[in-house]
Amino acid sequence: MNLHKLLIIIGTRPELIKVAPVIMELKKRNIFDYKIVNTGQHKELLDPYWKVFDITPDYDLNIISPNQDLATLTSRALLSINDLIKELHNKGEKPLYILAQGDTTTVMASSVAAFYNGIMFLHLEAGLRSYNLQHPYPEEFNRRIAGIVADIHFSPTKSAKNNLIREGVIESKIEVVGNTVVDALNYITNSDSFTKVIFSDHRINDCISKGKQVVLVTVHRRENQNKNLENLIFALKKLCTDNPDICFIWPVHSNPKVKLPVLNSDLSKLSNVILTDPLSYLELLKLISLSKIIFTDSGGIQEEAPSFKKPVLILREVTERPEAVELGLSKLVGCDPDLIINEFYNFHPDYRNVPNPYGDGCAAEKIVNAYLKKDSILFKS
């Protein structure tokens, strides 16, 4: 058996969360002809998450270096993945497939490396589009590149599939499977550890034990740095001041361009604001489940919140995940202070008889079925 038939490449926390259900499904079926690569794109944020899903990477590439720009990150990722492929090839273990998830630099580099080496590329969460290369930047670019070379597009929704068809992708290459984030969420929330979550930041525990309403805030995208971040801080300061009995919790991203302006802002002086370190996946899901409303520019949270029937104000001008917006479960507000404040008071979605737009929690099963079918057809031909 070729233990490198499938190379699964992961670089960031959201990628691991969404790829983990596929790996667990492979294990469930006693399929072990794969290896897992950790590029380390978000090394500090990613490291604790391997244990959550009981997954251990086989290769660590450590592509991150201090203060590197996107060009450097991209070149390091592409060269490191390419070097690994050459190493495996020299051992007679060159993979037949590479699978990567989403829209990060790791995914884009994986797709290019697969193309250059004649390896079939399987794109998980394919077809998401904002049709604006600056929003999100560089993710929109990354996923379009991955889409050009993909041999199988695992699309989370019919909308994503239609995007690909409009771009000329052959329909037989597209599998609508739902979003694996729902699989991961179901796995976590059905565990005993989820019901017993104790937050590492005692201030959050105190807030919850006192029965206070909770508002979750997360920001990390490049387009929300600088002026947009200043506008968001201004709007939140107003909301926090006017609602002293509500607890606003902001797990602050480790990027200094986000972290320093937030920690040095007036929000740090308000008693009902908790600026905390990034949360574990269990803590984050627990906080989503407890929130009155969520402010975020995170794609993952946009997908996770409907499972908990929690309204989301999306801190972006456009979203490549329009399904929840179209159903009235989320709303785009950008970083316009007036709009943020107004919708905080007036956005009240109706979840009655509305299905989860991101799937039924069986995406991993459908993905593995499609992969095995593709593999079987290739080996028969």
Taking only the tens place, the pLDDT of each residue in 244-278 is 999 999 999 988 888 999 999 999 999 999 999 99
pTM of the full structure: 0.85
Q: How far apart are CA 115 and CA 145, in angstroms?
A: 11
Specify whether 220 is located in the same domain as 106.
no
Domain count along the chain? 2
Specify whether 175 is located in the same domain as 200.
no
Domain membership of residue 197 as a residue range: 192-346
Q: What's the distance, CA 244 to chain centroid? A: 32
CA angle, corner 53, sides to 65 and 258, nearest 5?
A: 40
Mean pLDDT of the chain: 93
Between 25 and 192, where is the model more confident? 25
Catalytic residue among 15, 25, 139, 183: 139
Under DSSP, the state recorded for 379 is: H
Which range, of 43-52, 158-167, 262-271, 363-372, averages the lowest pLDDT?
43-52
Q: In the sheet where 120-124 sits, what is the strand order? A: 59-60, 34-38, 6-10, 97-101, 120-124, 152-155, 174-176
Specify whether 89 is located in the same domain as 150.
yes
Which CATH number characterizes residue 30's domain? Answer: 3.40.50.2000
Report pLDDT for 353.
86
Mean pLDDT score, 63-90: 93
Q: Is residue 149 part of a domain?
A: yes
Q: Which residues of 150-163 are buried (b: 16+ CB within 10 A; e: fewer)?
A: bebbbbbbebbbeb
* Percentage of the chain lying above the pLDDT 70 cut: 98
Q: Is residue 105 part of a domain?
A: yes
Report pLDDT for 377.
73
Residue 138: is the preceding peptide bond cis (ω within 30°)? yes
- Closest alpha carbon to 251 in 284, 224, 286: 284
State yes or no: is 143 an active-site residue: no
Helices 180-189 and 363-380 pack at an angle, to 10 degrees, of 130
Specify whether 148 is located in the same domain as 256.
no
Specify whether 270 is located in the same domain as 364.
no
State yes or no: is 4 an active-site residue: no
The gap between the terminal CA atoms of the chain, to the nearest Å, is: 19
Q: Is residue 164 part of a domain?
A: yes
Catalytic residue among 222, 304, 323, 343: 222
Dihedrals phi, psi of 293, to nearest 5 degrees: -160, 160
Residue recorded with tokens 């999306």: 314
Q: Residue 152 forms beta bridges with which residues?
A: 122
Specify whether 135 is located in the same domain as 69.
yes
CB 232 within 8 A of CB 340: yes
Q: How many Cα neighbours within 13 Å face the side chain of 23?
A: 24
Specify whether 145 is located in the same domain as 204.
no
Q: Is residue 1 part of a domain?
A: no
pLDDT at 118 over 90: yes
Specify whether 172 is located in the same domain as 222.
no
Report pLDDT for 211.
94
Q: Is residue 185 part of a domain?
A: no
E strands in the chain: 6-10, 34-38, 59-60, 97-101, 120-124, 152-155, 174-176, 213-218, 246-251, 273-276, 291-296, 312-314, 330-332
Specify whether 33 is located in the same domain as 135.
yes
Q: How far apart are CA 123 and CA 221, in angstroms?
A: 22
Q: Kindly report the length of the chain.
A: 381
pLDDT at 222 over 80: yes
Specify whether 81 is located in the same domain as 157.
yes
Mean pLDDT score, 188-202: 91
Specify whether 51 is located in the same domain as 98.
yes
Q: How many Cα neighbours within 13 Å face the side chain of 162?
A: 6
What is the DSSP annotation of 165-217? HHTT--GGGEEE---HHHHHHHHHHTSHHHHT---SSHHHHHHHHTT-EEEEE
Q: Is residue 141 part of a domain?
A: yes
Specify whether 116 is located in the same domain as 199.
no
Catalytic residue among 125, 175, 223, 320: 125
Catalytic residue among 103, 183, 304, 343: 103
Cα–Cα distances (Å) from 269 to 235, 274, 339, in that order, read 15, 10, 24
State yes or no: is 25 an active-site residue: no
What the block records as the tokens of 361 is: 């929690």
State yes or no: is 202 an active-site residue: no
Q: Is residue 208 part of a domain?
A: yes
Catalytic residue among 4, 42, 153, 220: 220
What the block records as the tokens of 283 is: 């803590």
pLDDT at 181 over 70: yes
Q: How far apart are CA 182 and CA 185, in angstroms?
A: 5
